[in-house]
Chain A
């Protein structure tokens, strides 16, 4: 079996998620070739053929041009599967490639079971094992579902390709996220403070853990009402409804308004002194402990990883 891995770069920098494609290929035990629209200065640590198009010419977002380039490589390599990350880049390109190749597309693969692809359904509440009936398949991989266990290594043998075409979509530039405004709805990790934090000074304990994890911190309604945390960080039906990959509830007993706002999170850790707190019902892990001791220790541990 042969896979064409479509790596990603942004502003000339290779994105680390590209190695997840390699990990996926390893799991399948498949041969690979790689394709990247990027810059010569930042190439992936990868042993194999890398078809490299210069992002200066092909553009960072130019779907029709990138599609033609990929189709050109597919022609050369004849892979069984074209693999993307399920990212803003991958989910935009994959259907276009699948359509052109008359291939089935399987989106957001989370695991491979007996050689078959498994994808989530209904906000990850369900799993779906997919069977395809086409010669080629286009696949996108859920972010973080596949990871290399060791540091990526290798040197690609670069084969440059290039095209310059457009179908009328003109990329006019990037816009950075505004600083200040917090959009918890889009955070992948949220650490939230509940009334169990006791006093406003302890908000920093929770914020530090969030920072160490690369996430955002939030709060339950009583904490926001007490003005210990600004309102745009409130999680719950009266604040923001969130569904991050990881939600850590610190000292939150679990009022229904709060639960309704966060229970869709993929993995929930609750840190609470009360073993019977309702938050325990939605938590994957309930740590019975005083957050004022546990959370700083956890933050230290994570920083040391």
Chain B
């Protein structure tokens, strides 16, 4: 079984974000970086499939500057076999279609049976890449998977719907799966595996060799939303407080509509 896992390095969401000089993305200074949470589920699932089938080869692909190799090493330590680094200093300027194009270009002709990726990235959050890769490669794609099993090349997966409901689907490999919170608990890499990961193949390819799609959209401006309540302090008698609070909830949130 040949498996491709596509991961992204994202800033830790606890970081204090600032807008960059161009005003179109967050500044990369003073950020802590990590693997996109949903991609961790993708890596874990790929490794579990390999462990279950007792055979397989997992390639982890990541697009970005040399810094993303740190995140790729974690995926290798978790159990991926080789790394495909697509080197790109400006990956934040690439729109999902281009990212998907690069992945599809890489994966075409390599005969992957399964392609796993996160359902979305924590920073851009478009949720498009996995499904676009499926379309580009002409493979069936299932998104937001919270349960996955495979037996004899047949996948049984559950998609997460709203309100705690799940849709069960069945399909054959090759396929693209995008992973959602709840699919699994990503493992903590063991020390021997961290050591082994340092020696695993990790080949960089310039993005120019794989980027054949033009952007269809761009970011005009990135900015901080107004802080909704602005740290409002309400004091007074209960009935007035209730009135005020309900008014604020109606204005500032969608939960009472």
Contact = CB atoms under 8 A, between A and B. Distances in A.
Q: Do chains A and B touch in the complex (CB under 8 A)?
A: yes
Interface of A: 10, 60-61, 63-64, 86-89, 91-92, 94-96, 98-100, 102-108, 116, 119-134, 143-145, 147, 167-177, 183, 185-186, 188-189, 213-215, 245-246, 264, 266-267, 269, 275, 280-281, 283-289, 293-294, 297-298, 301-302, 305
Interface stretch (B46-54, B62-70, B108-116, B164-172): B164-172
Contact of A122 (B26, B119, B144): B26
Interface stretch (B184-192, B193-201, B204-212, B222-230): B222-230
A49 B172 CA distance: 37
Interface of B: 11, 13, 17, 19, 26, 95-97, 119, 122-128, 131-132, 134-136, 140-144, 156, 158-172, 181-182, 215-225, 227-235, 238-239, 241-243, 245-246, 248-249, 252-257
Contact of A171 (B169, B181, B253): B169
Contact of B181 (A91, A176, A185): A185
B222 A127 contact: yes
A133 B143 CA distance: 26
A106 B220 CA distance: 13
B241 A287 contact: yes
Contact of B123 (A122, A183, A264, A281): A122
A3 to B, nearest CB: 18
A267 B229 contact: yes
A167 B249 CA distance: 44
B255 A188 contact: yes
Nearest to B129: A95
A103 B96 CA distance: 12
Q: Which of A89, A127, A175, A288 has the most CB of B within 10 A?
A: A175
B143 A92 contact: yes
A127 B216 CA distance: 19
B253 A10 contact: no
7 contacts: A87-B162, A98-B97, A116-B220, A126-B222, A130-B217, A175-B168, A188-B255
Given A99-B135, A104-B217, A130-B219, A186 B225 contact: no
A-B pairs, 5 with minimum CB distance = A144-B254, A177-B164, A284-B229, A104-B216, A95-B131
Given A120-B125, A125-B17, A103 B222 contact: no
A121 B222 contact: yes
Nearest to A299: B242
A95 B254 contact: no
A305 B132 contact: no
Main secondary structure of the interface of A (DSSP, over half): mixed
B180 to A, nearest CB: 9
A134 B214 CA distance: 11
Given A121-B222, A246-B249, A286 B234 contact: yes
A183 B180 CA distance: 14
B144 to A, nearest CB: 6
Nearest to A122: B123
B231 A130 contact: no
Given A94-B128, A147-B257, A99 B165 contact: no
A10 B161 contact: yes
Contacts of A134: 216-217
A297 B239 contact: yes
Nearest to A100: B135
A269 B249 CA distance: 9
Contacts of B170: 169-170, 172
A92 B127 CA distance: 9
Q: Which of A64, A95, A189, A287 has the most CB of B within 10 A?
A: A95
